[in-house]
Structure 1
Amino acid sequence: MSHPRRVALVAGALYLLTIVTSIPALALKAPVLADPASLALPGQVDALRWAAALEVVLAVACVGTAVALYPIVRRHSETLALGFVAARLVEGAVIMIGVVAMLSLLDVPRDPDGSATEAALVAVHDWAFLLGPGLIPVANALLLGTALYRSGLVPRALPLLGIFGAPLLLASTTGSLFGMVDQVSGIAAVAALPIALWEIGLGVWLVVRGFRREAVARLSAAPALQPAS
Structure 2
Amino acid sequence: MSSTRTTAVVTGVLFLITEIAAIAGLALYQPVLNDANYITGAGADSRVLMGGLSELILIAAVIGTGVALYPVVKRQNHSLALGYVCARLLEAAIIAVGTISVLSVVTLRQDLAGAASTDDSTLVTVGKSLLAIHEWTFLLGPNFVLGANSLLLACLMYRSRLVPRGIAVLGLVGGPLIVTSATAVMFGLYDQLSAWGSIAALPVFAWEVSLAVYLILKGFKPSGVTAPGTR
* Partner in structure 2 of residue 159 of structure 1: 168
Distance (Å, rounded) in 1 between the aligned partners of 2:193 and 2:103: 21
1:183-208 deviation digits (Å, cap 9, x = unpaired): 11010000000001100111111111
* Partner in structure 2 of residue 73 of structure 1: 73
Distance (Å, rounded) in 2 between the aligned partners of 1:196 and 1:102: 24
Q: Is the 8 A contact 1:141 1:159 kept in 2?
A: no
* Partner in structure 1 of residue 212 of structure 2: 203
- 1:185 to 2:194 alignment: yes
Distance (Å, rounded) in 1 between the aligned partners of 2:196 and 2:42: 31
Question: Where in structure 2 are the equivalents of 1:52-71 lying within 5 Å?
Answer: 52-71=52-71
Q: Which residue of 221, 224, 228 maps to 1:212?
A: 221
1:131 positional shift: 0.2
- 1:147 to 2:156 alignment: yes
Which stretch shifts more, 131-140 or 94-103?
A: 131-140
Which stretch shifts more, 67-76 or 206-215?
A: 206-215
Distance (Å, rounded) in 2 between the aligned partners of 1:33 and 1:173: 19
* Partner in structure 1 of residue 86 of structure 2: 86
Q: After the TM superposition, which segments of 4 or more aligned residues of structure 1 sit over 3 Å from their partners?
A: 38-42
Distance (Å, rounded) in 1 between the aligned partners of 2:142 and 2:178: 10
1:178 positional shift: 1.0
* Partner in structure 1 of residue 98 of structure 2: 98
Question: Where in structure 2 are the equivalents of 1:28-43 lying within 5 Å?
Answer: 28-38=28-38, 40-41=41-42
Identity of matched residues, %: 41
Task: Provide TM-score, normalisation by structure 2.
Answer: 0.91
- 1:115 to 2:124 alignment: yes
- 1:14 to 2:14 alignment: yes
* Partner in structure 2 of residue 176 of structure 1: 185
Paired residue type of 1:102: V
1:113 positional shift: 2.4
Distance (Å, rounded) in 2 between the aligned partners of 1:86 and 1:72: 16
| Structure 2: gaps (5+ residues) | 114-119
Residue-pair matches, total: 219
1:36 positional shift: 4.3
| Structure 1: gaps (5+ residues) | 223-229
Paired residue type of 1:46: S
- Aligned-residue RMSD, C-alpha: 1.4
